[in-house]
Amino acid sequence: MQYVVGVDLGGTKVATALQDENGKILKRVQYATNQYKTAEEVIEGLVASVNEVRGDYPIVGVGVASPGAVDTENGIILKGTNLPDWVNIPLQEKMEEKLQLPIKIVNDANAAAWGEYYVGAGKGSKTMVYVTISTGIGAGIVLNHKLFIGNNGYAGELGHTVIEQDGELCGCGEKGCWEAYASGTSMARIANEAAKKESTIMTKLASDEGVSMNAKHLFAAARLNDEVACRVVDEVTDSIAVGLKNIIHTFNPDCIVIGGGVSLAGEALFEPVIEKTRKIVLAPYRDTFTIVPAQLGDDVGIVGAATLLTGEQA
């Protein structure tokens, strides 16, 4: 059995775990990201957390998942989105120097895709696309059993593929991106617009919780057959299906795994999305794929990054 450490460098927390080669977590620690003030402090913190979980295990290396642009080949974080002064950081070299172990740095969506493919919901598939529907939409692609990261490691920004020319303004500054219609944030926007015009139980579900209305309330209300919520769910699941159709026509995957906070909506999301996607793809694709919920939950980043070192990819 081989052992490896995975690190997920998130915006709110840095999670580190000792795992076996099957992605089973043996020891896990996490620290708040905002306690680190400089890049040097983050690196010191990462090294300390790796030493904390590894104990006396003979680990083969450390996999690190990071949001933003990552140059995997050279082990450099080009532009993190989550940490102070986190630009052009030669993280691989710095960590290798301090730990004397092989280090691999990957984009977090790519790590997640590999984790779900290797030990999660995509296990046994050949070509798998992982889509995370959360604040935005991210994705990672496994082609013929290999993680596909593109020439520069940027492949998979499927949330910013365009589904409507000159459409809704996206957080990226452009218009009509998939995530401007189908992310959790966009679902909340559409639900709020609908709730301004018509009465809906979504308003009460949100105020009972004392928070502003979000995708969770939308799906909860749809489950209660709230008419407005059902209509919005119909609209946003149409948008998800359009994006999945583009993915299916591009990659011909046998499996699409959907993760991220919005996937927790469960059947209320998956049932219409699967049905609509099957209906709108070209006939030859119709029975070539499955669409399934992610299995690794919050640990997807750490497990994915770690299994990249022990898996076939290594």
Binding stretches for ligand ADP (CB under 6 A) = 134-135, 184-185, 214-216, 219, 260-262, 264-265
- Please enumerate, as own/partner, the contacts of 186-190 that have beta carbons within 8 Å and a separation of 24 or more: 186/236, 186/239, 187/214, 187/215, 187/218, 187/232, 187/236, 187/262, 188/212, 188/213, 188/214, 188/215, 188/218, 190/232, 190/235, 190/236
For residue 84, what are the CA distances in angstroms to 21, 106, 235? Answer: 32, 19, 38
Give the interface size with Zn ion as a residue count (CB under 5 A). 5
Q: How far is CA 75 from its chain centroid?
A: 20
As measured in angstroms, the least distance from the Cβ of 189 to ligand ADP is 10
Q: Which residue has the tokens 């799906």?
A: 219
Shortest Å, Cβ 156 to ligand ADP: 15
Q: Which helix (H) or strand (E) segment is 270 a member of?
A: helix 267-280
Q: How many CA atoms lie within 13 A of 127 on its CB side?
A: 12
Q: Tell me which of ligand ADP, Zn ion, none is bound by residue 32, counting a contact when its beta carbon lies within the kind-specific cut-off of 5 to 8 angstroms.
A: none
Among 54, 94, 104, 160, binds Zn ion (CB under 5 A): 160
Query: What 3-state DSSP class applies to 206?
Result: helix
Residue number, 97 or 174, with CB nearest to Zn ion: 174
- Closer residue to ligand ADP, CB minimum distance, 3 or 219: 219
If the CB atoms of residues 104 and 216 are measured against ligand ADP, the closer one turns out to be: 216
Tell me whether residue 97 or residue 234 sits nearer to ligand ADP (CB atom). Answer: 234
Interacting residue with Zn ion among 32, 48, 169, 172 (CB under 5 A): 172
The nearer residue to ligand ADP, 8 or 62, going by C-beta atoms, is 8
User: What one-character DSSP code corresponds to residue 296?
Assistant: S
- In whole angstroms, the minimum distance from the beta carbon of 81 to Zn ion comes to 14
CB of 232 to ligand ADP, least distance (A): 12
Query: Which 3 state secondary structure label does DSSP give 93?
Result: helix
Running DSSP on this structure, what letter comes out for residue 158? G
**Cα separation of 71 and 137, whole Å?**
21
Q: Establish if 139 lies at the interface with Zn ion (CB under 5 A).
A: no
Stretch that binds Zn ion, among 30-38, 64-72, 81-89, 159-167 (CB under 5 A): 159-167
**At closest approach, how far in Å is the CB of 171 from Zn ion?**
6
User: In terms of residues, how long is the chain?
Assistant: 314
Compare residues 83 and 170 and give the one whose CB is closer to Zn ion: 170
Least distance to ligand ADP from the beta carbon of 3, Å?
28
Binding site for Zn ion (CB under 5 A): 160, 170, 172, 174, 177
